[in-house]
């Protein structure tokens, strides 16, 4: 059972549906397997809880 984990900022439900479909299709094209066996776990992270380059992402917008 392949598991694909995605951590990202909040997205719309439609974007998450599209992402799940595209990731599943890409996995099948690349590695083969059974579409129903692929599990995708999406974790949405608030911009206040994500940093890069030592700066909280929400602070970069100011």
CB-CB contact of 27 with 2 (8 Å): yes
Catalytically active residues, by annotation = 2
CB-CB contact of 9 with 56 (8 Å): no
Alpha-carbon distance of 37 to 4, in angstroms, equals 11
């Amino acid at each position: 059972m392949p598991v694909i984990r995605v951590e990202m900022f909040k997205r719309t439900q439609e974007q998450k549906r599209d992402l799940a479909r595209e990731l599943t299709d890409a996995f099948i094209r690349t590695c083969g397997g059974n579409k129903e066996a692929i599990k995708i776990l999406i974790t949405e992270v608030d911009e206040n809880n994500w940093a890069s380059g030592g700066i909280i992402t929400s602070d970069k917008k100011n």
